[in-house]
């Protein structure tokens, strides 16, 4: 079963985001997580950023110094078929329900997570199925480590 393996926030904004045991997921974001660039991050349709721990492990095998939270994701999920995700998919995580809104475009702020700072390694356009995802929150609530993630 897919589950949360890391919940990540940064009270000062930016990356990396740091692990916490649980967090409140609200309509406009994760409580305690600050967005420095509100033009490109945050807001209703980008309230939560998600990534796959399975992809992080594969990227680490390629030699990238990526780790959970280093690319700015709020929730890191293990065991979900990332390549099958699509805009509009609904996920239930603990008491929270979210809707995937779009793949998250990579930017230079996450460059240190990649060999030679090649952050385009997780670009949906260049490497379909490797991107992080933005989601909007349909039902607010608390999530915690090991919460089950269900694709609806």
In whole angstroms, give the CA distance from residue 87 to residue 39: 21
pLDDT recorded at residue 106? 94
60 pLDDT band, cuts 50/70/90, is: very high
Question: Residue 24, Cβ neighbours under 10 Å: how many?
Answer: 13
CATH code (residue 60)? 2.40.33.20
Tabulate helix, strand, coil % of the chain (nearest 5): 20, 35, 45
In whole angstroms, give the CA distance from residue 109 to residue 107: 6
In whole angstroms, give the CA distance from residue 12 to residue 5: 22
Number of domains, the chain: 1
pTM metric for this prediction: 0.94
Q: State which residues form the domain around 17.
A: 3-151
Q: Each residue of 89-124: pLDDT tens digit?
A: 999 998 999 999 999 999 999 999 999 999 999 999
């Amino acid at each position: 079963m897919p589950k949360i393996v890391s919940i990540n926030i940064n009270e000062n904004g930016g990356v990396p985001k740091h692990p916490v045991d649980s967090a409140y997921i609200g309509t406009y974001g994760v409580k305690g997580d600050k967005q420095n660039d509100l033009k490109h991050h945050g807001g209703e349709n980008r309230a939560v950023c998600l990534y796959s721990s399975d992809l992080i492990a594969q990227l680490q095998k390629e030699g990238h110094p990526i780790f959970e939270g280093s690319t700015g994701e709020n929730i890191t999920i293990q065991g979900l078929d990332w390549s099958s995700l699509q805009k509009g998919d609904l996920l239930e995580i603990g008491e929270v329900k979210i809707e995937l809104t779009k793949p998250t475009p990579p930017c230079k702020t996450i460059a240190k997570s990649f060999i030679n700072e090649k952050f385009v390694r997780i670009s949906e356009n260049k490497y379909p199925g490797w991107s992080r995802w933005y989601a909007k929150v349909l039902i607010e609530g608390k999530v915690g480590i090991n919460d089950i993630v269900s694709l609806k």
